[in-house]
Amino acid sequence: MDEIIDRLKKVRKGAMFIIEAPSGTGKGTICKELLRRDPNIKFSVSVTTRKPREGEVEGVDYFFVSDQQYDEFLAQDAFYEHVDSQYGSRYGTLRSEVDSFINVGQDVLFDMDWAGARQMRQKAPDDVVTIYLLPPSIKELRKRLINRGTDSMEVIEQRMSIILDKISHWDEFDYVIVNVNLEETITKIQKIISGERMRRVRQVGLKGFVKELVNEVKNSN
């Protein structure tokens, strides 16, 4: 019996979890914790045409490619989603990279905006699960950005100025969580992940398993 359950677990199809939030809500902190606590979740590494910044590692931060290579990927429809940044660099999520994880039962986590999430949902509707995080208040959001200490006041104000546009897409997401308490939010997301792993479409071993059950019934009659 245990052997069957074990086998079922091994033939699970992974899911693609997209988490989005207005800057400062806690998305980065939460993603890092989810990855640290569950080795079955992998982070999706994007392709980019921009040059590596100091300390960035190929295959860890990004896959750095030339414009020509990027165009080839586009022509082959090799991306789940792609975007041209306003600064001229281009970014994309390679299907092959993501599929290599989900086909062996590992889940993939994406740090992606609503536009990317929309493209992903269109291309892989059964595999994509989207989660939107909201701050408890705008005052608290500003406080978190200031406390984080990574942005100048000018950048913080810039982030705050696009918040309405960001928040307006909240209802395109499957799950919405207000990130009041960090630990509680992480627990909630872990529960979402557990539930999503049990969906019938992800338990790809079930067909064979039920067939065996049916045979067992037939043979015992």
| Contact residues for ligand ADP, defined by CB under 6 A | 21, 23-29, 144, 147-148, 179, 181-182
We find the least distance from the C-beta atom of residue 175 to ligand ADP, in angstroms, to be: 16
CA dihedral of 115, 118, 119, 121, whole degrees rounded to 10: 160
Sign of CA dihedral 88, 158, 131, 121: negative
We find the least distance from the C-beta atom of residue 4 to ligand ADP, in angstroms, to be: 41
Q: How many residues does the chain have?
A: 221
Q: Which is nearer to ligand ADP, 75 or 153 (CB)?
A: 153
Q: Which residue matches tokens 């990130």? A: 179
| 69 Cβ contact partners less than 8 Å away, ≥ 6 residues apart | none
We find the least distance from the C-beta atom of residue 96 to ligand ADP, in angstroms, to be: 27
Q: Which is nearer to ligand ADP, 29 or 190 (CB)?
A: 29
We find the least distance from the C-beta atom of residue 145 to ligand ADP, in angstroms, to be: 7
